[in-house]
């Protein structure tokens, strides 16, 4: 599709909106009511452009057409945009915040804002959200995001015309059914709905980089600080896959950082109660308990449970503790606890559970398949994928199984297939079969790259029946030149095999296929050190037989509830449990004998490994956070007679290890094996 924008001809692959097309080629068009997460509302009337032969239209709602000629900024357009902005500003209080609306006013040289401030329009009844409807410019973004994305109806419009206003359900946000997702804060362009934290502590004085560890993507984020307190998290960039803009990452930290249960010093259990203890003494007790356990039971007497959200430096220290100092393999982590069965399938077939590309490279795919609820578990990635599709960068096939996937992803998809979970395997089996039948696979290439092509073809041509009708999907994938298969792996998925086979089949000389497995609740990062670790039954067994004397739990526990229950029941039989966590949780409250205060990611220094094998550096810059988990572990190791260097020295060792082990493993040249 060829479209002329401001005199220059551009080519586009998909029929996207003029707005998205223009932005894609770097031409900015002012908008207020457009938000990439919402379907257009076309109410602000700022995104005006002129189409030759047709006149002025809103670019957010008008799709491009072949041969179209668009002018984004001529006299008539600018005049109308300016007038609409002026009308909006006539009731707006003095521009103060640097919200999008304020920026637009500045860009158009408008300083009118001087609307009266009516106290009744201010609602501070909600602990996290501050409402000042004097600033509202009636874009309805809040109403739409609440209805369409949060699935609530908290924000409502009353009256009509110039009298229309936005109100919270029941007239008070604090008493409404708001779930505090703060999506409305995010989409409000005027600051009428604002983060209470910002209002309370002020706009950030400075920002520093950190790495969000709320999911395995480990996005870089920017932390805004006011009076040495973090008040705001911003995404690191504006492009999709710069990510870091998801709601989880933006807000969940507050719950931990500002929690009333935040730990500031170690606690020791005495007569059933947790009592404050000096840090030096606590380190002494911990190392003593470890030594005792080993003395009684040998190296099997001590074990570790580690979360998936630690820094690489911390993993290194824990590895030293377990493998070198104690000499055991007693390390459990969330990944192996949840995914042991599936692990084997990956290793057996493609030799790795890592994504075959860094997430950023999904951006160069022309076709993307999404299976499962990416949005709920990896929201930043879900956002990015949706945007790639809406911007026309890639065709999107969504295989939806849950209602939430339907709502969000479906709207952005080119092909949507709804299927029950148990039938995903059948669907992909069918896709695979058709890919072969319709000549979309490069058999010559696959013969060389796989171990068992002949056998596989025999099976899919023969006994495996094709129950689904998947023509559109097959056509889309077949025509793709760079296809990314992104799927949420759940422990009970039956379909992993077929999905891996699809990935293998799509590889060829003319087409590159990428596989990006995502693990819904658990993370890969820790698995990097401890792959092939031990299962939960193994842990329970050891505890039951009273073999395990001392157990150390590092990081907030993030296991799935089902497993958590089983874990808790076996932990009763462990003599001494040491825990390192930022906030007092039920583990520490009821099971731990010794609790060390941990750091949230906002305060941590170190490096994270994103599950796509990209390394991210977090340099903390909050004052008073110098002593960290690293130092604590170092103290314990030293008390056990083992000395390690500084964090920088440790990092250099880790870096080397990653290069050797992981990168090399990924390029081992091993042949693929179909699983069917």
- Residues of this chain that interact with ligand SF4 (CB under 6 A) are 136-142, 166, 187-190, 192-193
Query: Residue 311's closest CA among 651, 607, 624, 567?
Result: 607
* Least distance in angstroms from the C-beta of 124 to ligand SF4: 15
Of the pair 68, 85, the CB lying nearest ligand SF4 is at: 85
Measured from the Cβ of residue 341, the count of other Cβ atoms closer than 10 Å reads 12
State which residue, 136 or 331, has the beta carbon closest to ligand FES: 136
CA distances from 454 to 444, 471, 507 (A): 11, 24, 16
* C-alpha torsion 490→494→498→500, nearest 10: 30
Name the helix (H) or strand (E) containing 372.
Answer: none
Please work out the total of residues on this chain that contact another protein, with binding judged by CB under 8 A: 38
17 counts as binding ligand FES under rule CB under 6 A: no
Segments in 393-470 forming alpha helices (H): 403-405, 411-412, 424-437, 443-449, 453-461
CA pair distance 238, 550, nearest whole angstrom? 47
Which of ligand SF4, another protein, ligand FES, none lies near 34, with the C-beta cut-off 5 to 8 A by kind? ligand FES
Q: What is the DSSP letter of 469?
A: -
Binding status of residue 7 toward another protein by CB under 8 A: no
What one-character DSSP code corresponds to residue 224?
Answer: E
| Spatial contact of 46 and 85, defined as CB atoms under 8 Å apart | yes
Per the structure block, which two tokens stand in for 602?
A: 């906002």
Nearer to ligand FES, 58 or 334 (CB): 58
> Rule CB under 8 A: which of 457-476 touch another protein?
none
Answer for the pair 310, 582: CB distance below 8 angstroms, yes or no.
no
Query: Which CB sits closer to another protein, 84 or 535?
Result: 84
Q: Would you say 156 or 657 has its CB closer to ligand SF4? A: 156
Q: How many CB atoms lie within 10 A of CB 267?
A: 22
519 binds ligand FES, rule: CB under 6 A: no
Shortest distance (Å) from residue 43 CB to ligand SF4: 7
* From 5, 21, 32, 188, residue interacting with ligand FES (rule: CB under 6 A): 32
Q: Which stretch binds ligand FES (CB under 6 A): 38-46, 67-75, 101-109, 233-241?
A: 38-46
Q: Does 412 bind ligand FES (CB under 6 A)?
A: no
The number of residues that bind ligand FES (CB under 6 A) is 12
Choose the contact partner of 518 out of ligand FES, another protein, ligand SF4, none; CB within 5 to 8 A by kind: none
| Cβ–Cβ < 8 Å for 507, 445 | yes
Residue 462 Cβ, how far from another protein at the closest point, in Å?
36
Cα distances from 293 to residues 279, 547, 610, in angstroms, run 21, 9, 34
> With left for phi above 0 and alpha for psi between -120 and 50, is residue 312 left, alpha or beta?
alpha
Stretch that binds ligand FES, among 39-47, 154-162, 238-246, 308-316 (CB under 6 A): 39-47
Exactly one of 12, 34, 529, 630 binds ligand FES (CB under 6 A); that residue is 34
Which residues, numbered 144-203, are part of the site for another protein (CB under 8 A)? 147, 153, 156-164, 167, 169
Torsion (CA) 153, 157, 159, 160 in degrees, nearest 10: -130
Q: Which of 45/512 has CB closer to ligand FES?
A: 45
Binding site for ligand FES (CB under 6 A): 31-34, 42-47, 58, 60
Binding site for another protein (CB under 8 A): 40-46, 48, 55-56, 58, 61, 76, 79-80, 83-84, 87-88, 90-91, 137-138, 140, 147, 153, 156-164, 167, 169, 407
């Amino acid at each position: 599709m060829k479209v002329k924008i401001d005199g220059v001809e551009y080519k586009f692959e998909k029929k996207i909106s003029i707005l998205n097309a223009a932005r894609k080629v770097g031409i900015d068009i002012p908008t207020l009511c457009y938000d990439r997460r919402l379907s257009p509302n076309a109410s602000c009337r700022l995104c005006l452009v002129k189409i030759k032969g047709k006149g002025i239209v809103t670019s957010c709602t008008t799709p491009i057409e072949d041969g179209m000629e668009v002018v984004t900024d001529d006299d008539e357009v600018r005049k109308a945009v300016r007038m609409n902005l002026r009308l909006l500003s006539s009731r707006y209080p003095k521009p103060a915040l640097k919200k999008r609306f304020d920026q637009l006013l500045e860009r158009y040289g408008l300083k009118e804002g001087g609307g009266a401030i009516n106290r009744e329009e201010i609602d501070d009844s909600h602990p996290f959200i501050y409402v000042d409807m004097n600033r509202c410019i009636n874009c309805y973004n809040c109403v739409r995001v609440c209805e369409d994305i949060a699935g609530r109806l908290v924000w409502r419009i009353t009256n009509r015309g110039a009298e229309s206003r936005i109100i919270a359900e029941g007239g008070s946000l604090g008493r409404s059914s708001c779930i505090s997702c703060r999506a409305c804060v995010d989409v409000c362009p005027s600051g009428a709905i604002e983060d209470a934290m910002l209002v309370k502590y002020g706009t950030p004085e400075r920002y520093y980089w950190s790495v969000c560890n709320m999911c395995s993507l480990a996005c870089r984020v920017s932390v805004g600080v006011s009076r040495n307190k973090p008040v705001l998290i911003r995404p690191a960039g504006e492009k999709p896959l710069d990510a870091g803009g998801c709601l989880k990452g933006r807000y969940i930290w507050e719950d931990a950082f500002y929690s009333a249960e935040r730990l500031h010093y170690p606690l020791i259990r005495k007569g059933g109660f947790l009592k404050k203890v000096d840090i030096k003494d606590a380190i002494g007790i911990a190392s003593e308990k470890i030594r005792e356990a080993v003395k009684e039971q040998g190296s099997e007497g001590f074990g570790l449970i580690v979360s998936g959200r630690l820094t690489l430096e911390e993993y290194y220290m824990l590895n030293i503790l377990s493998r070198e100092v104690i000499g055991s393999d007693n390390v459990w982590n969330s990944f192996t606890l949840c995914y042991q069965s599936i692990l084997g399938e990956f290793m057996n077939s493609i030799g790795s559970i890592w994504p075959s590309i860094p997430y950023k490279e999904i951006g160069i795919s022309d076709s993307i398949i999404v299976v499962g609820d990416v949005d709920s578990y990896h929201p930043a990635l879900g956002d990015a994928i949706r945007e790639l599709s809406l911007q026309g960068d890639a065709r999107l096939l969504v295989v939806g199984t849950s209602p939430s996937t339907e709502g969000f992803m479906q709207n952005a998809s080119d092909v949507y297939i709804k299927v029950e979970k148990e039938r995903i395997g059948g669907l992909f089996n069918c896709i695979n079969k058709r890919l072969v039948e319709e000549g979309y696979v490069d058999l010559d290439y696959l013969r060389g790259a796989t171990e068992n092509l002949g056998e596989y073809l025999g099976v899919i041509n023969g006994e495996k029946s094709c129950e689904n009708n998947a023509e559109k999907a097959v056509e889309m994938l077949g025509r793709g030149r760079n296809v990314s298969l992104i799927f949420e792996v759940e422990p009970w998925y039956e379909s992993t095999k077929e999905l891996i086979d699809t990935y293998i089949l799509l590889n060829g000389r003319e087409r590159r296929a990428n596989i990006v497995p995502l693990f819904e609740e658990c993370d890969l990062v820790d698995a990097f050190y401890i792959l092939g670790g031990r299962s939960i039954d193994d842990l329970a067994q050891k505890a039951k037989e009273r073999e395990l004397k001392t157990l150390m739990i590092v990081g907030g526990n993030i296991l799935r509830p089902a497993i958590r229950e089983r874990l808790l029941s076996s932990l009763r039989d462990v003599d001494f449990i040491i825990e390192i966590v930022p906030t007092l949780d039920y583990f520490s409250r009821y099971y731990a004998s010794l609790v060390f205060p941990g750091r949230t990611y906002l305060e941590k220094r170190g490096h994270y490994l994103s599950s796509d094998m990209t390394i991210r550096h977090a340099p903390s810059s909050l004052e008073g956070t110098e002593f960290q988990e690293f130092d604590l572990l170092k103290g314990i190791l030293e008390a056990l007679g083992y000395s390690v260097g500084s964090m920088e020295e440790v990092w250099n060792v880790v870096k080397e290890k990653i290069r050797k082990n992981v990168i090399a493993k990924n390029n081992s040249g091993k042949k693929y094996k179909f699983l069917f």
